[in-house]
Amino acid sequence: MDPNPVTRSIAPLARWSTIVCGWWLLVVSALTFVEIVGRKLFGFSLQGVDEIGAFSLAVVSGLSFAQALVTRGHTRIDFLVLKLPTGPKAALNMLAMVTLAGFALFALWRGSDVLLESLEFRSRSTSPLQTPLWLPQGPWLFGLALFAATAVALAVHAVWLLPRDRERLNALYGPPTLDEEIAREMGDALDAPGKRAA
């Protein structure tokens, strides 16, 4: 399929933010393991691992939204859309992108208020770590901003395509077909390090 020209410039940043999130989750998993073993066998606690895990969930979620959007990984209910003619299908796919962009902008707006309030009141977590809340909220808001920028750019492109090329709009912004999902999974399997070495 013809690649989306909008995602071409956004995809590397979204991908690297996802990779960073993956490594961070490995660190949190290791800390959790040490915490469990320490409590059960040696009677000590790292203090605050549960808080770090909770903050990580929010940050990783925010930073992963753009990657899911770029790779068309968000869940879509498509059993009716796929049966429609090209024109109505294109209109619904465009509407889905515009609606998602609106939601992303709303989330960014509300998230900005949360961060600004934390900075204004110098808010800290009510835990042993006493974490300044702007520390996890900063990367979380960056993730929301990246998601919003991606969603708006894709929505504008979808609106532009609607009167010009509805087939391409459906191909780029419709739910992935079963054949596309199989091809992507096969491509991921073939790109695995063990397969490349073979």
- 3-state secondary structure string, 74-91? CCCCCCCHHHCCHHHHHH
Q: 119: burial class by Cβ within 10 Å (0-12, 13-18, 19+)?
A: middle
- Residue 132, both tokens: 């300044």
pLDDT of residue 91: 97
pLDDT of residue 198: 44
Could you tell me the pLDDT band of residue 173, with boundaries at 50, 70 and 90?
very high
Residues 6+ apart with CB under 8 A from 73: 67
Report, in this order, helix, strand and coil percent for the chain, each rounded to 5: 75, 0, 20
pTM reported for the whole predicted model: 0.86
Residue 124 DSSP label: B
Mean pLDDT of 178-197: 68
What is the per-residue pLDDT across 37-87, written as a single tens digit (0 to 9) for each? Answer: 999 999 988 888 999 999 999 999 999 999 999 988 888 777 788 889 999
More confidently predicted of 183 and 34: 34
Biggest CA pair distance of the chain:
67
